[in-house]
Structure 1
């Protein structure tokens, strides 16, 4: 898991970038962009093991006609240098119409703050289960 895109119904992922007005932060240092809060060895390993996307995943439109009527949560990474928080906050309001939560950490929050992320996800699951 890393920070996620928020698709619009029927939107191909390849179109998401222009449709949302995403501005690439630029720069060639992927560690500085994606893993700046990881220990150097872990950041290097994450970059080494990074996987591209399946061809289908970047061309096929998101198949739903609308967001499902289910509890939805968005956790924005406050220290993400790729999907910057201010961009994601606006996108969450526009596309999901929900109040979002925030967590410290980079784009790779699952590596930089695994315990905090797991606790948040567990809390979300418990709230849904208890409601």
Structure 2
């Protein structure tokens, strides 16, 4: 079984370094994909082509997609080697929906603000990497990731049409961080139920589970692998 790992915003394969190590210790192959996020003309079609090129020809591939990566994974799932999609704290798209339209269509801003208020944080505060993403990530891991600068993303990913016309006929699992401040878990549960008819499996941790909980996430992926 091979895991092909699709990053979220910023497109860096380095996000998967810890999880990839955990999977390899279990005897699995893990291929982390770098996406062309620095190319302002690259959109979902181009991102999907990069992922497709990374999928090995042999069977039994699991696509694992983080956050924005959920827009890319279903575009690659028709590859004959893919057996399973796993979406981690995902932006689950509706067919044809752009990543730019997703926020308002799903009610994300209100959900994030309500969760911040419930935690005693400012519901009107802008997105902050430390507060919203790295609050539960070990300091040394945070320092390494921050040294690369904040995530950049091609604007075309958010504005150009999404070629997805229907969800692929591939088993799909959703993993949600119970302490995710950016995509609160109640919001994720609703979205997964409405758009996929799936109940997420929850792990302790925030939005960046591959950095904060690589062992638990690897355990969960291996459970899914045995079930397929």
TM-score bucket (shorter structure): 0.7 to 0.9
**Structure 1 residue aligned with 2:131:** 32
| Contact 1:9–1:66 (CA under 8 A) maintained in structure 2 | yes
The alignment covers a number of residue pairs equal to: 128
Runs of 4+ in structure 1 displaced over 6 angstroms? none
Give the TM-score normalised by structure 1: 0.86
Query: Highest CA radius of gyration, 1 or 2?
Result: 2
- Structure ranking higher on relative contact order (CA contacts 8 Å, 6+ apart): 1
**Structure 1 residue aligned with 2:94:** 8
- Which has the larger strand fraction? 2
Question: Residue 206 of structure 2: which of 106, 114, 120 is its match?
Answer: 106
Structure 2 unaligned segments of length 5 or more: list them: 1-6, 8-65, 67-88, 114-124
Kindly report the root-mean-square deviation, in angstroms, between the aligned alpha carbons of the 2 structures.
Answer: 1.8
Structure 1 unaligned segments of length 5 or more: list them: none
Query: What are the residue-to-residue correspondences of 1:1-131 with 2, within 5 Å?
Result: 1=7, 2=66, 3-23=89-109, 24-25=112-113, 26-27=125-126, 29-49=128-148, 50-128=150-228
SS in 1 for 2:172: coil
| Contact 1:80–1:105 (CA under 8 A) maintained in structure 2 | yes
| Contact 1:83–1:107 (CA under 8 A) maintained in structure 2 | yes
